Amino acid sequence: MYYWLGFAAFALAILISVSLHELGHMITAKRFGMKVTKYFVGFGPTIFSFQRGETEYGLKLIPLGGFCKIVGMTPQDDDVAPEDQPRAMWRFPVWKRTVVMSAGSITHFLLAAVAAWFVAISIGLPNTAYPQTNSDQAKEKPVITISECTWIEIPTTQQDCVPGQNGGVAGPAYAAGLRDGDLITQVGTTPITTYGQLTEAVRTLPAGAVPFRYERDGVAGTAQVNLISAQRKPITDDGEGPTSTVSVAGIGWDFDSLPTQIKYNAAEAFPATADYGWFLFKNTFEAMKRIPDKIPALWHSITGSERDPETPISVIGASRLGGEAFQHGVPELFLNVFISLNVFIGIFNLLPLLPLDGGHIAIAWYERVRSWLYSRMRKPDPGRVDYYKLMPVTYAVILIGGVFTLLTATADIINPITIFNR
């Protein structure tokens, strides 16, 4: 019972967020003087509608999104009445069209930010920056571990690291005198407050001697750490990706001592929300780049193989996770999936592909830049892009997107990702 209540609640939350996406388009379009003739929640047959001014508002039968109709989105629209021609969207300055088309994604980002702020002050945000804190220390203090030995290349089999054997070398930080529990405050000229910042600072420096400022039992000190080059995977949430040569210091973190959620007061929640948002942005882009590699695993999960938890999910899969979270009394999971999904939808809609919002934005700016170049070359303005010529590409994007959506939805029904064993 609780599972299905959570499932329905999450699906409703996503429907509301998508409806607000369209509301963002409508409000900005109306503010700029464009004509909006329809705003509907859902698709298919109309359940009810009403007219307010020049806009028809209503609810449709299939609750899978929504839409608003802005007159004259492209010069090829043939349903624009003569009296509405001056208000056709394509006639407005490019910056206004950009605001209108990006308003939907901005709405998703705002929803995610507001939700994350409330989570930060109530339940606590995920400990994503590896700040490495424990319950006995202030949030900004990283709990680090110093390795006596570190690997030049991460071995493929489990084995002890021994300097001089199988690619193991003496840990640079340990050799410089740093020890477990030291608080690193600066690497070179870079101030450090979290383990994530520490790792990024080390990796961006060239190999060689670098001063590390630290605190031990309240006493400040400086150690000269001789960074070495080694093969490491990128810093992502799941550690996936190709290896590359970076600088390392042989420093890790005490994961077992860390809280999974960190609560903040109202003021602290603003920068914490920004940090969490940036974390989600980076990881969303990394996840989107890996989607093509995950498609075979999705297919195999439908045909009987175990579901890879790193494969993409549909709204059905996200709603199932929301149902599990509700059933097991884990509101932070419910909310974090909602926040992450809004960030993903916002970013995805800005991709420069038709029929996505980002495709319309890309064309608007392409036209603007092309007109500017032609004016500089003293040539006639080539005019607007012919959307009809782009229809084959648009249909291809729709087809690929439809197949991918069907694939993820089928996998989420037949072989879903689960967090708890129900």
CA dist., res. 128 & res. 111, Å (int): 20
The DSSP output letter for 180 is: T
Q: How far is CA 265 from CA 105, 109, 140, 272, 277, in A?
A: 28, 22, 14, 10, 17
- Closest Cα partner for 39 from 18, 59, 53? 59
Bridge partners for 208 per DSSP: 227
CB 215 within 8 Å of CB 157: no
Q: Which residues, 6 or more positions from 131, have their beta carbon under 8 angstroms from its beta carbon?
A: 139, 140, 142, 193, 194, 195, 196, 262
CA dist., res. 221 & res. 225, Å (int): 13
Q: Which segments within 28-141 are labelled E, that is strand?
A: 36-52, 55-70, 125-126
Report long-range pairs for 233-239 (Cβ below 8 Å, ≥24 apart).
233/154, 234/286, 235/196, 235/199, 235/200, 235/203, 236/282, 236/283, 236/286, 237/128, 237/283, 237/286, 238/310
Burial 374-401 (b: 16+ CB within 10 A, else e): eeeeeeeeeeebebeebeeebeebeeee
CA dist., res. 228 & res. 247, Å (int): 5
Q: Which residues have a catalytic role annotated?
A: 22
Phi, psi of 301 (to 5 degrees): -65, -30
Bridge partners for 190 per DSSP: 187
